[in-house]
Amino acid sequence: MNKKFLIIIFFFLLSTNAFAFITYKQSKVVTSDSDQIRGIQFKPDGTIMYVSERETDPDTIMQYSLSTPFDISTATFQFKTTLTNITLPHAIEFHPNGTKMYVVNNTGTKVEQYTLTTAWDTSTLDHYGTYNVSNEDQLRALAFKPDGTRMYVTGADNFKIKQYSLSTAWDVTTATNPIDSSSLESNENNPRNIQFHSDGTIMYLGGNGGDDINKYTLSTPWDITTLTLSQTYSFSDQAEDMRGFIFAANFTKLYITNDVNSGANTIFEYSTACSGTITCSDPKDDNTVVAIMEAHVELTKRIIKQNTIPIMHRIEWLRRHRNKDNLKNQKLKVTIADEQLSKLVDVIKPKLKNNSSTVDEDEWFKWNEGRINIGKIKSSKSSQAKKFLSNGFAIGADKKKNKDTMYGYVFQLSTDKVNIGDSKEVGLFTKAYSISMYGTKIRDNSTFTDGLIGFGILDIDHKRRKLTNDIEGQRDGKQLFGSVNLGKRFNTKKFNLNPSVKINLGYTELEAFKEYINISDSLADQLYIHKQEIVTGLATIGVLLDKTIELNEKIINHNGRLEYIADFSPSTEAEFYYLNDASTKYKLTIGNKSEDNYRIGYGFDVTSLSGWSVIANFERLIAIGSGYVNEIYLSAGYVPLEGTKFAFNLINNNNMKTGFDIVKNINGFNLKFNIDADMGNNNKNSNILINKSF
C-alpha cells in the first residue's frame, strides 16, 4: 500500500508544473576561447553574448556574435577585451542603452564601471569609476533597478544582499545608504549572481553551493528586507560547478556558466515555462492584450456594418427613383393627377412602351461606391484606447423586375487598420472580401421591405509589443450577415418622409492562431488564441427625409437621416494560453461597450438623363460613452443606353399639358427635340437643342 502511494505521488509531481519550469535545451563548450568563465550577459536583442573570464593575467571580457538571437549554438567568438582596474571579474551588467558596463571585482570587493564609445562594443570600453563594497568578501553578484537608482550586490562573506541608493542614476560612485537583507546562507552558501523581475516583486539567487537557483518574492517591490523563499530549481544534472547565470530574452531563456575542476568551460541553455517564470502573468492584466483581443471582436462588427450600409444606400436610391423610368431604364414616364385620366393612361401606356427605343428589360445598372471611416474607441480601466481607419470599395449591379421590385448583387473589398494606444506599430490590419445579394419590394405604393444577405472572408494581421519584443500573428475569419428593413414612404409636396425599422444580424468565425516572435524559440510571451465565434445583432429605428429637385435634365435629391441603434450583440469569450504552458488556460469575456448608438447623416445624389448617377453621404455614428465613427460614402452608377431615348409626360393640374422628348447621340453630338403642348389653351412650343459631349 505504501509503495503504491509513493508511486502515485511520484507521477503526480511529474504531471504538475512544479518541475517543469526549466527545460534543458543545449550547451556550448568554450574552453578553447577561455579559462575559468564566470559572469554572462546578452545584448537585449540577443545578437551579442558577453562572458567574463578569470585568468591569472589578464582578466578579460569575451564577446560573441549570435547569428540567431539567443541561440548559443550559433555563437561565434569575436574578441577579448582586457579589463583594467580589476582582478577576477564576475557578474556583468549594462546600462539599457549599451554605453556603460559594470563588472564585479571579486578580489577587491569593488564594482567597476566603464564607458563604451560604441554601444555594446566592449572593445571600446574605458574605465571611469569604482565603488568599494564594505563588510564583504569575494564579491560576485550584481543587479540594478531598471531606472538605475538602486544597486544590489552580494558575496561569500555574510551571505546577505546589500541594497544601495544611487543619487545619480547608473553612477555607482554615488551609491549611499546600504541596507542588508537577512542571511541567505541556509539556502545558498556560495552565491554567484542575483537577478530581479522588472517590477521588483521577484528575485533570483543562484550559486554553486547546491548548483541551484532560489526564487524569492518581495512583499514590497525592490525592498530586499522583505524577501521570502518561494521555490528552488536544481541544475546539478548539467552544471557541476555553477559560476554565473542570467535570464534573458524577457525571461524566456536561462543561461548558466560552468567551470568544472577538469577545466571544461561550458555554457548551458534552458527554456523556461510559465509555471515558474516571472513574465507569464495573467495576460488579462495586460491592457494591450485586452485591447487587441477587443479589437478582434470590434472589427468584425465594424466590417459587417460597412458591408451593409453601402447596400442600404443603394436600395434607398433605387426606391427614390423607382418612378423615374426615363432616367433608370429609359422607359416611358407618365405622371397624371386626374383620377379619370388615369384610366386613359393605363390604356396608352403599354402601347407607347412597345414603341420605346430604350434599354432592354434585362439591362443591369452598374454602380460602385468608395467609403472612408475614421473613428476612436475610448480607453477603460483594463483596455487601451483604439483609433481606426477603414476604407472600402463596392462594385455592384442591379435591375428592376418591375417598378416595385428591384434586386442586385455587389462585391466589396475593405481594409481596416486599428492602432492601440499611442503606438502606430501595435494593433490590427485587416483585409475583408464579401459578396452580397440585395433587393427591395414596395407594396401599396408606399410600404417597403428591404433585405440583403452576404458572405465574407477576413485576413487579419495582428501585432502587439511586450517590452522591446514585437509579437505578431495572422488570423483568418469567415462572416455571414444579413439585414431586413421595414418602412413606409410618405410623399409630400415639400419632402418625403421614410420611417423604418431595421434588424442587422451577423455571425463571424475567427480561426485559432499562434503568435510568433523573431527571438529563437522563446515562447513565454507568445499566446495561442483559440477559435472564436462572434454573434452581432443590431436593431435600428430611424427616419430618412429626402427632397427631390428636377433641374436641367438632372434629378437632384437631398436627404438627411436620424437613427437610434441598439446593439444587442451577446458577449463573446476569447480563450488563450502561453505557448510554453498549454496547461494554463485564460479566458477573457468581451462584452458590448456600445449598447446605445446614434447615427446622423446628410447626403445627396444627382442623376442625369445620360445614364450617370452620383451619390455622396456623410454620416456620424456616436456610441454613447465609448467613442464615435465618422463615415464618408461616395458612389457612382451608370446604365448603358441606346442612342435614342423617348420620354412622354402627361400632367393634369387644372389644365392639360403634354410633353414629348427625343434625344439622339450622333457622332458625339447630342440632338434633343422637345414639344410642349397645353391642350386647354391650345398652345404649343417646340425646341431643338444640339450640344457636344466632352
Q: Measure the CA–CA gap between 673 and 685, rounded to whole angstroms.
A: 11
* Those residues with Cβ within 8 angstroms of residue 358's Cβ, 6 or more apart along the chain or in another chain: 329, 330, 331, 641, 642, 645, 646
For 8, phi then psi, to 5°, come to: -65, -45
In this structure, which amino acid lies at residue 295?
A
pLDDT score, position 23: 80
Query: By CB neighbour count within 10 A (0-12 exposed, 13-18 middle, 19+ buried), where does 640 fall?
Result: exposed
pLDDT score, position 210: 79
The C-alpha cell at 456 is: 465574407
pLDDT score, position 383: 86
Grid cell 444577405 is found at 453
Q: Measure the CA–CA gap between 457 and 190, rounded to whole angstroms.
A: 61
Check: pTM over 0.85? Answer yes or no. no
pLDDT score, position 229: 92
Q: Measure the CA–CA gap between 308 and 27, rounded to whole angstroms.
A: 58
Grid cell 571585482 is found at 105
Residue 318: alpha-carbon gap to chain centroid: 37
Query: By CB neighbour count within 10 A (0-12 exposed, 13-18 middle, 19+ buried), where does 3 fall?
Result: exposed
Closest CA to 208 of 224, 190, 228: 190
The C-alpha cell at 355 is: 414603341
Report, in this order, helix, strand and coil percent for the chain, each rounded to 5. 10, 55, 30
pLDDT score, position 142: 95
pLDDT score, position 274: 60
In this structure, which amino acid lies at residue 202?
I
How far, CA to CA in Å, does 347 sit from each of 324, 334, 680, 688? 20, 12, 22, 30
pLDDT score, position 487: 94
DSSP, residue by residue, 463-497:
EEEETTEEEEEEEEEEEEEEEEEEEE-EE-SS-EE
pLDDT score, position 466: 75
For 610, phi then psi, to 5°, come to: -75, -5
DSSP-assigned letter for residue 262: T
* Those residues with Cβ within 8 angstroms of residue 494's Cβ, 6 or more apart along the chain or in another chain: 547
Query: By CB neighbour count within 10 A (0-12 exposed, 13-18 middle, 19+ buried), where does 143 fall?
Result: buried
pLDDT score, position 446: 87
- Segment holding 392, helix H or strand E: strand 386-402
pLDDT score, position 679: 45
In this structure, which amino acid lies at residue 161?
I
Q: Measure the CA–CA gap between 362 and 75, rounded to whole angstroms.
A: 72
Task: Name the stretches of the chain with pLDDT < 50.
Answer: 1, 3-20, 275, 325-338, 340-345, 347-361, 520-521, 642-654, 656, 666, 679-680, 693-694
